[in-house]
Chains A and B, each alone.
Chain A
Amino acid sequence: MATQKHVFTVEMTCEGCSGAVTRVLNKQKDKVSKFDVDLAQQRVVVESTLSSDELLEILKKTGKATTYVGLEN
């Protein structure tokens, strides 16, 4: 499967929250080629070959409210 850019909204209220999301994604280094965590915009962009559902499961591990927005070009 080709790498796609998936956009998620994650409820993050502080740097601890965004740090937690960053760590969780760092653990998936072999499957996630690139990602960007934006605390101010409550937005997480993930470049990966994984499906949006699989990525959603990974992000939900943080215990934060997470929703899938869609693909970004």
Chain B
Amino acid sequence: SPPVGSRASVTIHVEGMTCISCVRSIEGRLSAFDGVHKINVSLEKKEARIEFDPKRTTAEKLREGIEDMGFDATLPTNFV
């Protein structure tokens, strides 16, 4: 397993998903991003929970990735 510190997680709020196909598009594309360990998108909660390697990517880059796909993506306000 990876050493502690190379794993971070963020829950990004996503607006505009209406079906399971939207969910799969986001999961498919984001899981191919550099530094993404795991992604779980909930249509019901309108959010994407992503586990990533903070040395290889940032929460803001992940947010932009979802935004580029055509959805409204916002980081939690308390995210640092």
> Residues of A with Cβ closer than 8 Å to B?
12-17, 19-24, 61-64
Q: Is the CB of B69 within 8 A of A16?
A: no
Q: Is the CB of A21 within 8 A of B70?
A: yes
Q: Is the CB of A20 within 8 A of B71?
A: yes
Return B65 CB to nearest CB of chain A, in Å.
9
Interface residues on B, range: 10 to 19
Assembled-state Cα–Cα distance A12/B25 (Å): 10
Within 8 A of A (CB), among B36-80: 68-71
Assembled-state Cα–Cα distance A22/B21 (Å): 16
Assembled-state Cα–Cα distance A61/B19 (Å): 18
Select which of B25, B28, B29 is within 8 A of A17 by beta carbon. Answer: B25
Q: Is the CB of B22 within 8 A of A17?
A: yes
Residue numbers in A under 8 Å from B29 (CB-CB): 63
Q: 6 tightest CB-CB pairs across the interface, nearest first?
A: A20-B70, A16-B18, A63-B25, A63-B29, A14-B19, A23-B70
Return A60 CB to nearest CB of chain B, in Å.
9
Residue numbers in B under 8 Å from A21 (CB-CB): 70
Q: Is the CB of B16 within 8 A of A20?
A: yes
Return B61 CB to nearest CB of chain A, in Å.
14
Assuming the contacts A62-B25, A63-B25, A63-B28, asked whether A13 and B69 have C-beta atoms less than 8 A apart, the reply is no
